[in-house]
Each structure stands twice: as C-alpha cells, then as structure tokens.
Chain A
Amino acid sequence: MYKIAVLGDRDSIYGFAALGLDIYPVAKGAEAASELHHLAENGYAVIYVTESVADSIAQDIAQYADRPFPAVIPIPGVSGNTGSGMANVKKFVEQAVGSDIIFNGES
C-alpha cells in the first residue's frame, strides 16, 4: 500500500490535503531535498512537486529517475512556474528519439 505526497510552497498545495493526499509544505533547496529523500524512503509511490521547488532540487530528483518508484512529478504552483514539467517531457523525447519530434520547437 503506497501513499501520495505533495511537496511545495504552502499556498500552492494546501488544497490537495482535502483530497486525502499528504501535503508537505517546504521552502526551496536543502529542506525540500531532505524531505524528498525522506518521503521516497517511506512508502510514497507518487510525489508531486511544484515546479519552482522541483527546479531547486533537480539533482535530488534525478536520483529517482531510473527507479520504478517513486514517480516525482512536477506540477504548476500558484507562482514561480517555469514550464519545467513540459520541458521534462520534451527532454524524454529528445533522449529517446535524438531530436524533438513531438513539440516541434514550441514552448
């Protein structure tokens, strides 16, 4: 039985608490990174991270890239969106195909 966590600044994520997801309000950087590792070790299969926080801990997130779980998924927050979620998808395409054939240069 796995759980779902949402990581990010409080204003962006408190709504998810109502749905029954576990919310972890964090600031950027080291705090977020240690929280992420903590969650990954403790039975969370999906961790949603707001884009601004995700960008600040990209290296820590990359550690979980080749494992089947946890899936660390960037989501837009209230502020500080960077479009890194879409950029990630674009990166997958580039990694697999060699060039971007899905987005065709948009975004």
Chain B
Amino acid sequence: MAATHVNPTRMELTRLKKKLVTALRGHKLLKDKRDELMRQFLILVRENKSLREKVEAGIRSADQNFVLARAAMPDEEVNVALMAPKQEVYLEMDERNVMSVEVPVFHYKTRTPDADDIYSYGFAFTSGDLDAAVKSLADLLPDMLKLAEVEKSCQLMSMEIEKTRRRVNALEHVMIPELQENIRYITMKLDENERSTQIRLMKVKDMMLEEAHHYKKKQNEAFAG
C-alpha cells in the first residue's frame, strides 16, 4: 500500500505515469553526470595530491633556506631587503565548465616581463643564502598556483558529486519505487472497479432475463414433471 493517499482515478494514473517517465529519465541523466564527474574528480584529485606533496616539500626546503639566510644576516637587513618588492603577480581568472560545475582556471601575469625579476635588493649586502631562498620560492610559484586551481576544482566537484549522488539515490530508492507502487495501486483499483461493474451488469442482466422468461420456474416444473 502506498505511503501517501492517492486518488484511484484515470487522470491521476496518467499524471503519475508521466511523472515516472520524467523521473526515470532524470535518474539516468543524473547517474551519467555522477559517473563522469567522478571520473574527472579522481583524475584531478590524484593530481591534487601529487601537487600538494610537491608544494609542501618545496615550501619546507624554501623555509630552511630562509632560516639559513637569517642565520647569516641580521634580521633587520633581511627585512629591509624584502621590504619593497619589485615584482607583482596578477591573476586572470577564467571559468571552465565541468559537467555544470564552474571551476576556476588561473592565468598569472607578472608586472615586469621577466618572471625571474624577483630580487628586490642589491647583492652587495645580502647573503647568497637569501638569493637561494627567494629563488626556491619563485620556482615554486607556478606549482602553487596550479595547486590553488586544482584544489579549488576538487573542492567544488566533490560538493557537486555529493549533491548529485544524493539526488540519484533519492530518485532510485524513494521517488521511482513510490511512483511505481502508486501506479500499481491505481491500476489494480481501476481493474477491480471494472470487474465489479462487469459482475454487476451480468447480475442485472440475469435478473432481467429471469423476470422476462421465468427460467427458474420453468426448470422446476420440468424437474417435477
């Protein structure tokens, strides 16, 4: 028996059948969407993992270089050297559509045309370790931006996959079985009504014939005679 009350009418039956067709179609589409999203997500998340490992290792070694640089120079001099940056990085952002998920794509631009133009100090009063430290970070920048792009994409896609999966499951395990159950209920109810009408008609016909021809009476007489 259906959980909700449905009117066993032909109109309701047509409506439910239409709804079932839509639900089945939606279910198939969403399932395809989920599968494709999942495939792309897995590719992306593997990239995310390896990029993150690379960036984290890179930042650690750059930090070590900075510690070395600070060991070789007084703090004030390090601060002065890095106080006025020469380089600036700007981002251009495009959006890429992956299965209706808008994920960002970053393109970065540096203010000076030479991307290696990163030393904001003269080399005379600073230690070589500082150069190495700054250089190691600069080499890491493209990977860091790629990481930002990939990680954001992963984040957005994982949310979308979760949402889609919920929808697919709701359709598959709740909506579609319920519709089918209701359709079955209405069909059976209608069939039942039809049978009962038919039986009633047959009965009425019997009674009318009896009235007109008195079959029973004649039969009894035939037996008696």
CB distance from B41 to the nearest CB of A (A): 5
User: What are the residues of chain B within 8 A of A75 when measuring CB–CB?
Assistant: 55-56, 59, 144
Say if the beta carbon of A24 comes within 8 Å of chain B: no
User: What are the residues of chain B within 8 A of A69 when measuring CB–CB?
Assistant: 93, 104, 152
User: What are the residues of chain B within 8 A of A20 when measuring CB–CB?
Assistant: 85-89, 110-111, 118
Say if the beta carbon of B20 comes within 8 Å of chain A: no
State which of A34-42, A52-60, A92-100 sits at the interface with chain B: A92-100
CB distance from B64 to the nearest CB of A (A): 9
User: What are the residues of chain B within 8 A of A16 when measuring CB–CB?
Assistant: 137
Number of CB contacts from chain A to chain B under 8 A:
139
A67 to B95, CA, bound (A): 12
Contact A1 B52 (CB under 8 A): no
Q: How many residues of A contact B (CB 8 A)?
A: 38
Q: How many residues of B contact A (CB 8 A)?
A: 60
A15 to B162, CA, bound (A): 38
Contact B60 A71 (CB under 8 A): no
**A interface, by DSSP: helix, strand, loop or mixed?**
mixed
Interface residue ranges, A against B (CB under 8 Å): 1-4, 12, 14-21, 45-46, 48, 65-66, 68-69, 71, 73, 75-78, 85-86, 88-89, 92-93, 95-98, 102-103
Interface residue ranges, B against A (CB under 8 Å): 38, 41-42, 45-46, 48-49, 52, 55-56, 59-60, 62-63, 66-67, 78-79, 82, 85-93, 95, 102-104, 106, 108, 110-111, 118-120, 133-134, 137-138, 141, 144-145, 147-149, 151-152, 154-159, 161-162, 165
